[in-house]
A and B are shown apart, each in its own frame.
Chain A
Amino acid sequence: MRLKLEKRQEPSMAMLIATPILAVVATMFIGMIVFDFLGIDGFRAVIDIFLTPLLASYKWQDVAVKAAPLIIIALGLSVGNRAQVWNIGAEGQYIIGALAAAGVGIAFGPVGGFFVILLMIIAGMIGGSAWAAVPAVLRTRFNVNEILSSLMLTYVAAQVLSYMVGGPWKDPNGRNFPATAPLTEAQSLPIVVPGTTIHLGVLIALILPFVFWLVMSRAVFGYQVRVVGSSPQAARHGGFDSRRTIISTLMIGGAMAGLAGALEFTGALKAINLGFPSGYGFSAIIVSFLGRLHPIGCLIAGIVLAVTYVGGQVAQTTVHIPNATAGIFQAMMLFLILASDILIRYRVRFVPSAKPQAVAGE
């Protein structure tokens, strides 16, 4: 018997949905085995990372707050990915978004309220998309690969952050720590579930997937993005401008990352310090693919990734494994989801091994 890959007549819808689930389950199994070999209770570690955050109700708010930026960033990235635009720099756009929001907040001094917060959020979106506009222009003008340019700009953004919080925006009452002054209540996002840390950003992260779903599946813009991603020449034939599509998808990705940054700043962290870039921009790439570039998929995948973040912290105390373990699990998920993609277009069959045959001319 041997394995044979056979091309399917049509891509399998069932596999499209099943493979992400498969990837998560396989990640749990492989993780369990690897940890056992390392002499750690693998079963316990996997349970803590993947299930405890879901079973313990007091962890739900942590999951929600962590899922929000992941979902929002992944939504934007998915739009670009559908157009075959690979924005790896969401982390940088997230940082710039938060800084832009902070800038507006500082400019208003003690003044707060609805309009100031709204302005801060809008500034965050503008900041993020402006940061993404750089790779967009480089790609469409000079054919510079956006994967490299957007990633490199992430490190520039981190330097900008480091300069701002250590210099001009340093909290005068902060004992010389490089951090902005904590936001006042008037400039913070409202809490939507009283008695928890669940802020307005979580609600936004719950609503946005449905907006994106409508746009991507029904609007001409969503169609345009899909055509440009599938075949640029057909897009041209259909009267769509690929350059403009590339620019707009990158800027939407940037705006969403910037929005996430602004919401995280005004809703959860309230201050920006050197630890602000926590990798949401990178993890959102995993969310985007785990969610099959579908807005609702991103919603679900964002929650899954958030669970591993929270679970990683749980496992840190229970089985004493480093917090970075969660990152290993996330990476493994991305790897497995990409690997299992082949099952959508091909089916695996067991066939009897062919009998050896004579070779001509030898």
Chain B
Amino acid sequence: MEPSSLPPRLELTGITKRFPGGLANDHVGFAVRPGEIHALLGENGAGKSTLVKMIYGIMQPDAGEIAWNGQRVTIQNPKAARRLGIGMVFQHFSLFEAMTVLENIALGMDANIPARALEAKILQVMGQYGLKLDPHRIVSTLSVGERQRIEIVRALLLNPKLLIMDEPTSVLTPQEVEQLFVVLRQLAAEGCSILYISHKLHEIKALCDTATILRGGKLVDTCDPKVETSRSMAEKMIGGSLKDIQRSADRGFGPAKLLVKGLSLTPPGAFAVALRDISFAVRAGEIFGIAGVAGNGQNSLLLALSGEEVAPDHGAVVVNGDAVGGLAAKERRLKGMASVPEERNGHAAVPTFSLTDNAVLTARDRLGMVRAGLIDARAARTYAGEVIEAFSVKATGPGAAAESLSGGNLQKYIMGREILQKPQVLVVSQPTWGVDAGAAAAIHQALVDLAATGSAIVVISQDLDELLSLCDTLAVINEGRLSAPMKVADARIEEIGLLMGGIHGEGGSTHAA
């Protein structure tokens, strides 16, 4: 990229945003050149989202300046941002499941364009960037990768000069990530700047020209990711040295602690994915990973294992030799099965309850917190204190409301709440979703340590890197079916990617709408 005499496409100077809890952005300043792919890196709570929301006009900075092509601007709302030429693809899509691709795009347009003209424009944009998508497909039949393409097309229709992508690859298969990168590189070559938010460092090394790193709302560094190593960037992000997972080299596995045999289950709800004939075994000391693109039955599997959904066949789930398929969550817990669902607030924990009260939620029976129908509040408080201590949870104490904790700290607390109960089998979904690198390392280590004591662990995650570094064995879930397990040491990324794509990947158009 040649240095140009043009002013930067976007220049931020001294951007400051204050929230009641403190400063979300503290005098942040950096510039994005035309045609540059600029990474915005940082842990959760580092202030990336706040910063991007101010660029896209969702929030206003308390102080500081935004310059667009050298001109100072105030971006009052997203509409104004779009008029300037700023497009954004959010991490969470805003699509109507029951409508077609075309209808969804039409709904998101500021201008009123006739359907036929819009369709022609969409086809032209898709052709230009090699994005394959049928405008008449109903959204609910599309894979997550295809849904993201709708959002990208929607943004591209406005001929953006700056495209903001918020964690775009967290829901994609490795192949889909490659395809996305091709599109982004083409866009950049045509002069569109891209602000790329991610915490996946190898992607940033592969894609980005510049990386701006935030920590605690402050700008730490602006660097060249091609020169930096993933480790050096990670350490700048967390402001300390990164800990590797410690585990003993000669680990052996004991007998199977969790057996799943021909588990089929259709949970209630219109969008729940049915599980089809799932079988696998997890031995004592083993960490078993389940990879897959979001929405392929991971939630159903967690519910079926935790006992929140009861299996029709009592023998379909066996814990430590006891059939538990027909038992509900409470009874399965007594048999030694613990679980951590993906959603922290409102599923794993009650947001408005104190940590003490949240300890009661899953630990009351195993740890004897109930006597004669009454809850022993002191025992619960003591246990909550132990979890806080053992997992270095940052909280004002056991009385702190769950919702007052940051995502990472609440996740550490929830993991600790289950792990300190010494379960025979622990099933966790997305253990480090939205958790900063420091907390993620602590959670990973805790899982490895629990396995070392002879527990069987199932980790359901969409983060393939996490599974490859953490697990001994890996299987892929796709449309409610589980692949044959493979040893992580012999697994090939391409093969896993293909299994993740299933019939939903390229050529998924055979899937009738």
CB pair A360–B329 under 8 Å, yes or no, is no
- Asked whether any CB of chain B lies closer than 8 Å to the CB of A218, the reply is yes
Find chain A residues with CB under 8 A from B353 CB: 226-227, 230
B350-393 interface bits toward A, Cβ cutoff 8 Å, 1 = contact, 0 = none: 11110001001110110000100111010000000000000000
Tell me, in angstroms, the Cα distance from A69 to B83 when the chains sit together. Answer: 63
CB pair A234–B361 under 8 Å, yes or no, is yes
Q: Please, which residue of chain A has its CB at the minimum distance from the CB of B376?
A: A218
Partner pick for A234 among B333, B348, B375, CB 8 A cutoff = B348
- Asked whether any CB of chain B lies closer than 8 Å to the CB of A353, the reply is no
CB pair B373–A10 under 8 Å, yes or no, is no
Known: A218-B374, A227-B350, A362-B80. A233 touches B404 (CB 8 A): no
B66-90 interface bits toward A, Cβ cutoff 8 Å, 1 = contact, 0 = none: 0010000111100011011000000
Find chain A residues with CB under 8 A from B377 CB: 218
CB pair A9–B21 under 8 Å, yes or no, is yes
- Asked whether any CB of chain B lies closer than 8 Å to the CB of A110, the reply is no
**Interface stretch of the complex, out of A112-120, A236-244, A291-299:** A236-244
Find chain A residues with CB under 8 A from B373 CB: 219-221
Known: A6-B20, A9-B20. A237 touches B73 (CB 8 A): no
Q: Please, which residue of chain B has its CB at the minimum distance from the CB of A357?
A: B74
Most A CB contacts (10 A, CB to CB) among B81, B306, B374 go to B374
Q: How far is the CB of A295 from chain B (nearest CB, A)?
A: 16
- Asked whether any CB of chain B lies closer than 8 Å to the CB of A361, the reply is yes
Q: How many residues of B contact A (CB 8 A)?
A: 44
CB pair B352–A230 under 8 Å, yes or no, is yes
Known: A219-B373, A220-B375, A223-B375. A237 touches B74 (CB 8 A): no
CB pair A237–B347 under 8 Å, yes or no, is yes
Tell me, in angstroms, the Cα distance from A7 to B80 when the chains sit together. Answer: 27
CB pair A239–B333 under 8 Å, yes or no, is yes
- Asked whether any CB of chain A lies closer than 8 Å to the CB of B341, the reply is yes
Tell me, in angstroms, the Cα distance from A357 to B65 when the chains sit together. Answer: 13
Partner pick for B80 among A221, A233, A361, CB 8 A cutoff = A361
- Asked whether any CB of chain B lies closer than 8 Å to the CB of A184, the reply is no
Partner pick for B74 among A226, A239, A360, CB 8 A cutoff = A360
Tell me, in angstroms, the Cα distance from A8 to B76 when the chains sit together. Answer: 26
CB pair A358–B74 under 8 Å, yes or no, is yes
Within 8 A of A (CB), among B284-318: 306-308
CB pair B361–A220 under 8 Å, yes or no, is no
Find chain A residues with CB under 8 A from B306 CB: 237
Find chain A residues with CB under 8 A from B346 CB: 231, 233-234
Q: How far is the CB of B377 from chain A (nearest CB, A)?
A: 7
CB pair B341–A7 under 8 Å, yes or no, is no
- Asked whether any CB of chain A lies closer than 8 Å to the CB of B52, the reply is no
Within 8 A of A (CB), among B128-180: none
Tell me, in angstroms, the Cα distance from A300 to B306 when the chains sit together. Answer: 43
- Asked whether any CB of chain A lies closer than 8 Å to the CB of B218, the reply is no
CB pair B347–A361 under 8 Å, yes or no, is no
- Asked whether any CB of chain B lies closer than 8 Å to the CB of A359, the reply is yes
Find chain B residues with CB under 8 A from A359 CB: 74, 76, 80
Tell me, in angstroms, the Cα distance from A56 to B350 when the chains sit together. Answer: 48
Q: Please, which residue of chain A has its CB at the minimum distance from the CB of B360?
A: A223
Q: How far is the CB of A245 from chain B (nearest CB, A)?
A: 13
CB pair A360–B76 under 8 Å, yes or no, is yes
Q: Please, which residue of chain B has its CB at the minimum distance from the CB of A234?
A: B350
Find chain B residues with CB under 8 A from A226 CB: 353
CB pair A238–B74 under 8 Å, yes or no, is no
CB pair B375–A238 under 8 Å, yes or no, is no
A342-362 interface bits toward B, Cβ cutoff 8 Å, 1 = contact, 0 = none: 000000000000000111111
A82-97 interface bits toward B, Cβ cutoff 8 Å, 1 = contact, 0 = none: 0000000000000000
CB pair A237–B308 under 8 Å, yes or no, is yes
Tell me, in angstroms, the Cα distance from A362 to B68 when the chains sit together. Answer: 15
Within 8 A of A (CB), among B215-260: none
Tell me, in angstroms, the Cα distance from A362 to B348 when the chains sit together. Answer: 47
Q: How many residues of A contact B (CB 8 A)?
A: 29
Q: Please, which residue of chain B has its CB at the minimum distance from the CB of A222?
A: B375
CB pair B348–A361 under 8 Å, yes or no, is no
Known: A238-B361, A360-B75. A231 touches B330 (CB 8 A): no
- Asked whether any CB of chain A lies closer than 8 Å to the CB of B401, the reply is yes
Tell me, in angstroms, the Cα distance from A241 to B73 when the chains sit together. Answer: 55
- Asked whether any CB of chain A lies closer than 8 Å to the CB of B498, the reply is no
Known: A218-B377, A357-B74. A234 touches B349 (CB 8 A): yes
CB pair A231–B308 under 8 Å, yes or no, is no
CB pair B84–A360 under 8 Å, yes or no, is yes
Tell me, in angstroms, the Cα distance from A227 to B357 when the chains sit together. Answer: 10
CB pair B76–A239 under 8 Å, yes or no, is no
- Asked whether any CB of chain A lies closer than 8 Å to the CB of B201, the reply is no
Most A CB contacts (10 A, CB to CB) among B328, B329, B341, B404 go to B329
CB pair A236–B375 under 8 Å, yes or no, is no
Most B CB contacts (10 A, CB to CB) among A6, A231, A359 go to A231
- Asked whether any CB of chain A lies closer than 8 Å to the CB of B343, the reply is yes
Find chain A residues with CB under 8 A from B360 CB: 223
Q: How far is the CB of B162 from chain A (nearest CB, A)?
A: 13
Find chain A residues with CB under 8 A from B339 CB: 237
CB pair B20–A360 under 8 Å, yes or no, is no
Tell me, in angstroms, the Cα distance from A7 to B329 when the chains sit together. Answer: 36
Q: How far is the CB of B492 from chain A (nearest CB, A)?
A: 36
Known: A9-B21, A221-B373, A233-B347. A238 touches B83 (CB 8 A): no
Tell me, in angstroms, the Cα distance from A360 to B66 when the chains sit together. Answer: 11
CB pair A9–B404 under 8 Å, yes or no, is yes
Find chain B residues with CB under 8 A from A231 CB: 346-347, 350-351
Tell me, in angstroms, the Cα distance from A241 to B328 when the chains sit together. Answer: 10
Partner pick for A220 among B57, B73, B351, B374, CB 8 A cutoff = B374
Q: How far is the CB of B137 from chain A (nearest CB, A)?
A: 31
Partner pick for A239 among B57, B330, B374, CB 8 A cutoff = B330
CB pair A220–B74 under 8 Å, yes or no, is no
A8-30 interface bits toward B, Cβ cutoff 8 Å, 1 = contact, 0 = none: 11110000000000000000000
Known: A231-B346, A231-B347. A238 touches B352 (CB 8 A): no
Within 8 A of A (CB), among B331-351: 331, 333, 339, 341, 343, 346-351
28 contacts between A and B (CB under 8 A): A11-B352, A220-B373, A220-B374, A220-B375, A223-B375, A227-B353, A230-B350, A231-B346, A231-B347, A231-B351, A234-B349, A234-B361, A236-B329, A237-B306, A237-B362, A238-B361, A239-B329, A239-B331, A239-B333, A239-B362, A241-B328, A357-B76, A359-B76, A360-B81, A360-B83, A360-B84, A361-B80, A361-B83
Known: A218-B374, A223-B360; 13 extra A-B contacts, CB below 8 A, are A9-B404, A218-B375, A219-B374, A219-B375, A220-B374, A220-B375, A221-B373, A223-B357, A239-B307, A241-B328, A360-B68, A360-B76, A361-B83
- Chain A interface residues (CB < 8 Å from chain B): 6-11, 218-221, 223, 226-227, 230-231, 233-234, 236-241, 357-362
Instruction: Report, nearest first, the 10 A-B pairs whose CB atoms are least far apart.
Output: A239-B330, A361-B83, A238-B361, A239-B329, A231-B346, A360-B80, A360-B73, A233-B347, A359-B76, A230-B350
